[in-house]
Structure 1
Amino acid sequence: MSVSTHVLDTARGIPAAGVPIRLETAERLFVGDGVTDLDGRLRWEEVGTGRYRMIIDTAAYLGDDAFFPEVAIAFTVADERHHHVPLLLSPFGYSTYRGS
């Protein structure tokens, strides 16, 4: 199965390209990292079931004055389906949900 994200800049109404993201297990073991593409997307293949953390370096995108310089999203992969974890980002807030 796979895990993906889509980071959207809701203040500017555009995808957030070039955002560094790290994927870890709940025990903080490294799974993979990368940066979002021009459409704000990043994907990891062959992720097993278990608890994970997606660490998004929002300061790299928003700048040094970012109110939330990092967003950590903890989630559980409990079945064989694809798991999509989007992030809606603005300078002073963020939101996430289980996507499809």
Structure 2
Amino acid sequence: MAGSARLTTHVLDTTHGKPAAGMRLDLLMVHGDHTHHIWSGHTNADGRVDQPLLEGDRFHLGSYELIFHVGQYFERIGVNLENPFLDTVPVRFTMSEAAHYHVPLLVSPYGYSTYRGS
């Protein structure tokens, strides 16, 4: 896919009012009832990934799942939860046109929200 077609993400820790630096992410492509792993990495100090998750020849239309490892993140930064509520947050979405898809995550230890950003 040519042009500006790409996939990006951004994670904000709403409990502390700051970017979620160092959160592990996994990107999977979904094929019917199975998936295959495409990428793993961590957010930078700004809660973003340094490069688009998909762009250029790596960008393909279809269904994907971004898995945010929020439980590990909150444990690593010292949020001690006796009974953790969230472990991983999977966000499944479909890219149906060659465009910029931005999938932000706003997260706390007890809830999250996401949307198609710009």
TM-score computed with the length of structure 2 as normaliser: 0.80
Q: Which is higher, the Rg of structure 1 or of structure 2? A: 2
- Partners in 2 of 1:22 and 1:28 — Cα distance? 12
CA RMSD, 1 decimal: 1.2
Instruction: Indicate the residue corresponding to 1:8 in structure 2.
Output: 12
Identical positions, percent: 42
Q: For residue 2 of structure 1, report the CA deviation from its aligned partner.
A: 1.5
Deviating beyond 6 angstroms after TM superposition, the runs of 4 or more aligned structure 1 residues are none
Alignment partner, residue 58 of structure 1: 70
Equivalents in 2 of 1:33, 1:2: separation in Å? 16
Cα distance in 1, alignment partners of residues 23 and 112 from structure 2: 14
Q: Runs of 5+ in structure 1 lacking a partner?
A: none
SS of match in other structure, 1:28: strand
Task: State the partner residue of 2:86.
Answer: 68
Q: Which whole-Å deviations, capped at 9, do the CAs of 1:25-58 have from their partners, x for residues lacking one?
A: 1131111111001000123133210000001111
Equivalent AA in structure 2 for residue 12 of structure 1: H
List runs of 5+ in structure 2 lacking aligned partners. Answer: none
- Looking at structure 2, the residues matched to 45 and 54 of structure 1 have their Cα atoms a distance apart, in angstroms, of 12
For normalisation by structure 1, the TM-score amounts to 0.93
Provide the aligned length of Structure 1 versus Structure 2. 100
